């Protein structure tokens, strides 16, 4: 295996010696978000989703007619919670496996697409959501800014855009250089570390059956996210540090920003 401390892996294959051309390799987020991902995040469940949906509903004062796009909907837990709350969600995700799971929990329309090229009419949504760190996966800051602009463009004037992201300040304070693999769910072993320039947090996941995956997320802090949102035409109205509405701080577990489109 390539030494993790000297390179930032972009794909699972980067973790192994390979003779393939890396340009033709799938990106890590095309490989990792399947059944294995769900097995390793069991605490991110329906109750967790309902709590966040309640907070968003309280802040945006949505009405039951609202059409809401859940970008990176994964297994559909927020779409299901939105549906239960009487709204009209549309789930969008790249992962076939996770969309199949979503189909089991919600009758909402589900779209398979890449968030970088959204097949959604501009300004057609009352709200668009990016929940539980469904952002920060791409190679360049330009790609991230462009993706955020595309997501924000789906929202009608006065509608809402919500992003729920990891808290970069908290992650940088807790995570350091690569250490030993530690035990995770289902006999997996995990290692979480910062890239040498501290711009990414990387998680290596080694499954019991020998397969290896990575997660690689760009560490945008709250101010950077807000700047990108502003540039995308979203004025941030609410800032929280968790799903119960705690204030945003460096030690908060999440960065939750809710803003309105111009
Ligand atoms: C951390 S998961 C969160 C899933 C869901 N929001 C939740 O909270 O359960 C990130 C999701 O983003 C999706 N995703 C990753 N890259 C994507 C892309 N380029 N376009 C669309 N969805 C993508 C993954 O398939 C995965 O479902």
Q: Tens digits of per-residue pLDDT, 27-62?
A: 999 999 999 999 888 778 999 999 999 999 999 999
Per-residue pLDDT at 202 exceeds 90: yes
Question: Regarding predicted confidence, which is higher, 184 or 220?
Answer: 220
What is d(CA 236, CA 223) in angstroms, rounded to the nearest whole number?
11
CB 52 near ligand 1, within 6 Å: no
- Mean pLDDT to the nearest integer, 102-129: 98
Please tell me the distance from the alpha carbon of residue 4 to that of residue 12, in angstroms, as a whole number: 12
Calpha distance 187→208 (Å, rounded): 6
Tell me, in angstroms, the distance from the centre of ligand 1 to residue 106's CA: 17
Longest dimension (CA), the chain: 54
pLDDT score, position 23:
54
CA distance 116 to 262: 21
Q: What is the pLDDT of residues 66-108, one digit of tens each?
A: 999 999 999 999 999 999 999 999 999 999 999 999 999 999 9
**162 close to ligand 1 (CB < 6 Angstrom):** no
Q: Any alpha helices (H) in 153-197, and if so which ranges?
A: 168-174
pLDDT in the model for residue 185: 87
Ligand 1 centre distance from Cα of residue 200 (Å): 17
DSSP 27: P
Residues 123-180: tens digit of each pLDDT: 999 999 999 999 999 999 999 999 999 999 999 999 999 999 999 999 999 999 999 9
Mean pLDDT across 194-204: 97
At residue 140, the pLDDT reads 97
Of the pLDDT bands very low, low, confident and very high (cuts 50, 70, 90), residue 19 is: very low
State residue 21's pLDDT score.
Answer: 45
Measured from the CA of 134, which atom of ligand 1 is nearest? Answer: 10
Q: 206 has which bridge partners?
A: 189, 212
Q: Which of 80, 94, 150, when mutated, tests ligand 1's pocket best, judged by the most ligand atoms within 8 Å of its CB?
A: 94
Q: Is the CB of 137 under 6 A from ligand 1?
A: yes
User: Which H helix or E strand runs over 75?
Assistant: none
Res 8: pLDDT: 61
76 lines ligand 1 (CB under 6 A): no
Q: Is 131 in the pocket of ligand 1 (CB under 6 A)?
A: yes
* Ligand 1 center to 130 CA (angstroms): 9
Q: Are 188 and 208 in contact (CB under 8 A)?
A: yes
| Ligand 1 atom with minimal separation from the 49 CA | 8
Which of the four pLDDT bands, split at 50, 70 and 90, describes residue 20?
Answer: very low
Of 56 and 12, more confident: 56
DSSP state of 248: P
Ligand 1 mutation pick, 33, 51, 72, max ligand atoms within 8 A of CB: 72
Q: What is the rounded average pLDDT of the residues 185-213? A: 94
* Helices 46-60, 77-84: crossing angle, 10 deg rounding: 50
Question: pLDDT at residue 4 above 50?
Answer: no
Residue 100, C-beta contacts closer than 8 angstroms, at least 6 positions apart: none
- In Å, how far are 200, 211, 222 from 166, measured between CA atoms? 12, 26, 9
The verdict on the CB of residue 132 being under 6 Å from ligand 1 is: yes
Structure tokens at 214: 């990575």
**Residue written as tokens 């294995």?**
36
Q: Is the pLDDT of residue 111 over 50?
A: yes
């Amino acid at each position: 295996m390539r030494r993790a401390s000297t390179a930032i892996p972009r794909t699972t294959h980067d973790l192994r010696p390979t003779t393939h051309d890396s340009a033709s390799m799938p990106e890590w987020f095309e490989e990792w978000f399947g059944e294995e991902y769900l097995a390793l995040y069991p605490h991110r469940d329906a109750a967790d989703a309902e709590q966040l949906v309640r907070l968003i509903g309280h802040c945006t004062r949505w009405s039951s007619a609202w059409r809401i796009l859940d970008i990176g909907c994964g297994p559909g837990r927020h779409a299901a919670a939105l549906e239960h709350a009487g709204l009209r969600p549309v789930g969008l995700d790249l992962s076939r496996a996770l969309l199949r799971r979503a189909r089991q929990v919600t009758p909402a329309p589900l779209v398979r697409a890449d968030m970088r090229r959204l097949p959604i009419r501009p300004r057609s949504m009352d709200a668009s959501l990016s929940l539980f760190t469904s952002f920060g996966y791409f190679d360049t800051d330009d790609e991230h800014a462009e993706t955020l602009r595309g997501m924000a463009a789906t929202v009608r004037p006065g509608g809402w855009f919500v992003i729920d992201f990891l808290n970069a300040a908290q992650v940088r304070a807790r995570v350091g250089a690569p250490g030993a693999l530690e035990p995770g769910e289902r006999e997996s072993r995990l290692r979480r570390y910062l890239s040498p320039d501290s711009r990414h947090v990387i998680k290596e996941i080694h499954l019991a059956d020998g397969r290896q995956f990575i997660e690689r997320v760009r560490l945008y802090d709250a101010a950077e996210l807000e700047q990108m949102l502003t540039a995308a035409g979203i004025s941030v109205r609410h800032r929280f540090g968790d799903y119960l509405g705690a204030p945003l701080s460096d030690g908060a577990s999440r960065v939750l920003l809710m803003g309105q489109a111009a």
